[in-house]
Structure 1
Amino acid sequence: MSFSISAADLAAFHEDYAGRKDSAVLERAVTKNGVKAASFDWHSKADNDQHFSIDLSTGNVADQKQSGRCWMFAALNTMRHDMQQKFNLPEDFELSQSYQFFWDKFEKANYFYENVIQTANLPHDDRKVAWLMETPQQDGGQWDMLCALIEKYGVVPQSAMPESYNSSQSREINAVLNNQLRHDAVILRQLVQQNYAPTRIDEERRSMLNNVYRMLSYAFGEPVTTFDFEYRTKKDHEFHRDANLTPTEFFQKYVGWNLDDYVSIIQAPTKDKSYHQTYTIDMLGNVVGGRPIKHLNLPMDEFKALAVKQLENGESVWFGSDVSKYSETKLGLMALNTYAYEDLFDTELAMSKADSLDYGESMMNHAMVLTGVDIVDGQPTKWKVENSWGSKVGEKGYFVMSDAWMDKYCYQVVINKAYLSDDLLAAQAKEPVVLKPWDPMGTLA
């Protein structure tokens, strides 16, 4: 049965619109100011002030600029927070995001080639192949993907590999690089389909990777292999120089984390995902043979309790959320009452978190860092968030997230295993269930 909109229907819709006494007023307000401005509720600012019972000292906020590196910024920020405390580093100290960006794109190219070869005998319109070709590589990523890069390439301070035009504005290099990868995919698929020997295919792939390395070196600069680390301490301005370090040596000496201690916890209440079970995503990653994606799914109360425990112990928390929902950037607000869309349009918009994931209304699209929480009567009421959009938004770059907003739109935290109970450690050790490439838990921040 089909339904066609008739003239009678249109007349009835017009009559309902004209019969509402506030239609003309709202039409003027929304057409002039836009939906967000017309529905903004100033109470949300008063309800979510910048005062927290637990508030970590974390230095200046970084700026990812016109790039999708939030996951990388957030992860490196958690590490620099620790470094600043250990070594009395200045407020503006940062680890090089550009260094990680280069290696991420290089490894993603190889990961793409690997998946192209594995799916080469599927038709080009197969869903897996179409998914691969839609975005061969992008700026986004996951915590485990950064760990894989660090384990292979280490880290460097930003002074050793500063930002470039293309690291700060990645649209141009992404367009050319994805063109190159799709071009290469045609060749690799043909070689596999024509039954060329694996050695011949590897030879072609190596040539392709050489080409990608050269493109990325032009765009970001070739990554450093050794460097001198120089800095003055924050309090007494004492000068330090550590000469001729490799990126791996720098990570071991100045960060010193065992990355295996940090695990991804997700909050996915959909029917297809049991709690206290681990999950991975097919064809998602960056380093071939590197650390795989692995998530432990927990109920919201356990999810938040772990974040609180880590903050109480002085460690900031990497987290992923849907920052596009009910978020006011200039004021730095993430609260469900920020915009009264339902009141403005006299409609119902509410969906459960599970339905929002299943029906594409929400998914993780941005990673930030929890640096504080306000505990009242033993329960969190709001959270302090370090963003990576510079100091001109929020309170010098810091946002406030209401606890209700976290319940609805927060999907992932990274937790030190030291804060997991024995039962949760056992759950995290389970073999992961493999999800399809397009599962919402496979989206990249």
Structure 2
Amino acid sequence: MAVIRVKVDSKPQPDSDPKPESSPTSLSLVASNPALLQAVSGSPVTFDQLAKYKSNFDHDPKNKLARRALMKDSYVSVLENTELVQSTPAVFNNKTKIEGKITNQKSSGRCWIFAGLNVLRLKVMEKHNLETTELSQTYLFFYDKIEKSNWFLENIVNTLDLDLDSREIQHLLTDPIQDGGQWDMFVSLVTKYGVVPIEAFPDSFHSMNSRQMDELITTKLRTFAKDIRNSYSAHSDMNQVHEIRKAALDEVYRILCISLGVPPQTFDWTFYDKDKAFKQVSGITPLEFYQDHVGIDLNKTVSLINDPRNPYYELYTVKHLGNVVGGVPVHYVNLPDEQLKLLASKTISEKKKSVWFGCHVGKFSNRTTSVLDLDVIDYNSGLSISFDLNKAERLQYGESLMTHAMVFTGVQLENDATKRWRVENSWGENSGNKGFITMSDRWFTEFVYQIVLEYEDVPQEILDVMKRDPVVLPPWDPMGALAQ
């Protein structure tokens, strides 16, 4: 989202010198400038209107009860539809073969990494007969930060011809080192750097509480962006520009090592399997671990989205969206929501695989609820309001976007129709139903925007769409929001 800066003159303090009598007043400035007059004209709120609104409010006795309750607690707590929650069982007739222990991203925006690794770890658990295991999210987080720093600086270099105040440059400067990411960004990291068990690179304070580190690196990156633009403006020397870029990455790398630790080049992994047998893997690299112990070819996966603003069966990308220069480009195939449901449910029910997905998790939910449903928070009973925007309109008017990634691990099918979905989250066991959420099929329709499947689980006619040149959406498009 573009940053709009408005300069506001501060009011004189009591001890300030008074203005000369000849100085124009605010009213005279407005009167002499038709454009300003137009900007402040319109229909003001009148006291008669306010009196009528108060009369309408007082006329309904339900408002008094709602006011007393909602002034003391949140909407989501007071208005939670307990009858709906109680009537939505966390029971599914189709589930993945195995599930790992619930993970916790803590105070960080690493959901896309957690969800991705929660998919990959099932292969490790199956291969080694494990009750559960966890792969290091901080390991990929480290390399995502250094790669995103380089990605940002390369974008600054590639846009030297644009004005600093342009919407595109201001968008790049808004949040260059954000925690979020997209599936193809996850693929770029894993295929370049591999993965490691969490024992080989555990969490640190700043991976679990990333805001301070992000703000520090953001300040440095904006400073280096200024240095790059000023250097090029003064000397037009691209060699000097890239020297600044490399010096910037050296600083970022140092900050990351101090804040997160130094990622292992090789490691040993020891563990007990379900039968309590001792196992050991020695002297393995992270890339070897991914290739030998995970075994999923992430280059043969596809992101499928439901974006009703745009034509279906087309390929899309978002300008400037990515993390690894030279990595996998972020691509989406746009499909109707019913096709997303069909493909996801078949993958779970027939292949017993979990499915990574992106959604707007903040809608009709809270961190403790175990159900995602359009009626789980009864705004109509409490506030006498309803919501009329459809999915496309929410995207168009800034009311919805992708905010969170999770994993489908189950689906309830009745007469071949999807009814509800089992969701593995990464907010710890105290969230939802011991870390799991039940999503209604209606909620899927309105707020799920993306799923990821392997090639083998997608019809060829959809894979053929990936061969086309993508339609490029603007950098601030909501289809890129999960990475922002």
TM-score range, shorter chain: over 0.9
Residue 268 (str. 1) matches residue 307 (str. 2): yes
Between 191-200 and 431-440, the greater mean CA deviation after superposition: 191-200
CA distance in 1, matches of 2:468, 2:65: 58
> Which residue of 111, 114, 126 corresponds with 2:154?
114
Residue 431 (str. 1) matches residue 472 (str. 2): no
Verify the 8 A CA contact 2:116 2:356 in the aligned structure 1. yes
Between 304-313 and 21-30, the greater mean CA deviation after superposition: 21-30
> Which residue of 315, 318, 321 corresponds with 2:359?
321
In the alignment, residue 222 of structure 2 is paired with which amino acid? R
> Which residue of 44, 56, 72 corresponds with 2:84?
44
> Which residue of 313, 336, 356 corresponds with 1:299?
336
Residue 441 (str. 1) matches residue 479 (str. 2): yes
Aligned-residue offset at 1:430:
1.9
Task: List aligned pairs for 1:150-299, cutoff 5 A.
Answer: 150-234=190-274, 236-270=275-309, 273-299=310-336
Cross-structure match for 1:402: 440
Residue 384 (str. 1) matches residue 422 (str. 2): yes
Secondary structure, aligned partner of 1:434: strand
Q: For each residue in 1:272-313, what CA deviation from the matched residue of structure 2 results, as whole angstroms up to 9, or x when unmatched?
A: x11000101100100011111000000011111110111120
Between 188-197 and 7-16, the greater mean CA deviation after superposition: 188-197
CA distance in 2, matches of 1:128, 1:158: 38
CA distance in 2, matches of 1:298, 1:184: 41
Aligned-residue offset at 1:347:
2.3
Residue 310 (str. 1) matches residue 347 (str. 2): yes
Cross-structure match for 1:357: 395
Between 423-432 and 243-252, the greater mean CA deviation after superposition: 423-432
Verify the 8 A CA contact 2:123 2:295 in the aligned structure 1. no
In the alignment, residue 342 of structure 1 is paired with which amino acid? N
Aligned-residue offset at 1:260:
1.6
CA distance in 2, matches of 1:47, 1:352: 26
Aligned-residue offset at 1:30:
1.3
Q: For each residue in 1:345-403, what CA deviation from the matched residue of structure 2 results, as whole angstroms up to 9, or x when unmatched?
A: 21232310000111111111000000000001111100000000111122221110011
CA distance in 2, matches of 1:89, 1:233: 5
Task: List aligned pairs for 1:322-337, cutoff 5 A.
Answer: 322-337=360-375
Q: For each residue in 1:301-340, what CA deviation from the matched residue of structure 2 results, as whole angstroms up to 9, or x when unmatched?
A: 1111110111120110000111101114323211111011
Tell me the C-alpha RMSD between the 2 structures.
Answer: 1.2
Cross-structure match for 2:180: 140
Aligned-residue offset at 1:202:
1.5
TM-score if structure 1 supplies the norm length? 0.97
Aligned-residue offset at 1:343:
2.9
CA distance in 1, matches of 2:465, 2:87: 37
In the alignment, residue 52 of structure 1 is paired with which amino acid? F
Verify the 8 A CA contact 2:358 2:482 in the aligned structure 1. no
CA distance in 1, matches of 2:460, 2:282: 43
Verify the 8 A CA contact 1:342 1:349 in the aligned structure 2. no
Aligned-residue offset at 1:222:
1.0
In the alignment, residue 402 of structure 2 is paired with which amino acid? M
Cross-structure match for 2:105: 64
In the alignment, residue 102 of structure 2 is paired with which amino acid? V
In the alignment, residue 416 of structure 2 is paired with which amino acid? G
In the alignment, residue 291 of structure 2 is paired with which amino acid? Q
Aligned-residue offset at 1:429:
2.5
TM-score if structure 2 supplies the norm length? 0.89
Secondary structure, aligned partner of 2:316: strand
> Which residue of 366, 369, 372 corresponds with 2:404?
366
Secondary structure, aligned partner of 2:71: helix
In the alignment, residue 359 of structure 1 is paired with which amino acid? Y
CA distance in 2, matches of 1:72, 1:208: 25
Verify the 8 A CA contact 1:310 1:416 in the aligned structure 2. no
Aligned-residue offset at 1:119:
1.4
Aligned-residue offset at 1:89:
2.0
> Which residue of 417, 420, 423 corresponds with 2:458?
420
Secondary structure, aligned partner of 1:107: helix
Between 255-264 and 279-288, the greater mean CA deviation after superposition: 255-264
Q: For each residue in 1:105-147, what CA deviation from the matched residue of structure 2 results, as whole angstroms up to 9, or x when unmatched?
A: 0000000001111112212110001101111111000110011
CA distance in 1, matches of 2:291, 2:163: 46
Secondary structure, aligned partner of 1:364: coil
CA distance in 1, matches of 2:276, 2:47: 77
Cross-structure match for 2:44: 4
Gaps of 5+ in 1: none
CA distance in 1, matches of 2:257, 2:119: 27
Aligned-residue offset at 1:238:
1.2
Aligned-residue offset at 1:250:
0.7
Gaps of 5+ in 2: 1-40
Residue 128 (str. 1) matches residue 165 (str. 2): no
Aligned-residue offset at 1:28:
0.9
Verify the 8 A CA contact 2:85 2:370 in the aligned structure 1. no
Aligned-residue offset at 1:85:
1.4
Verify the 8 A CA contact 1:48 1:401 in the aligned structure 2. no
CA distance in 2, matches of 1:34, 1:419: 42
Identity %: 38
In the alignment, residue 327 of structure 1 is paired with which amino acid? S
Cross-structure match for 1:76: 117
Between 417-426 and 111-120, the greater mean CA deviation after superposition: 417-426
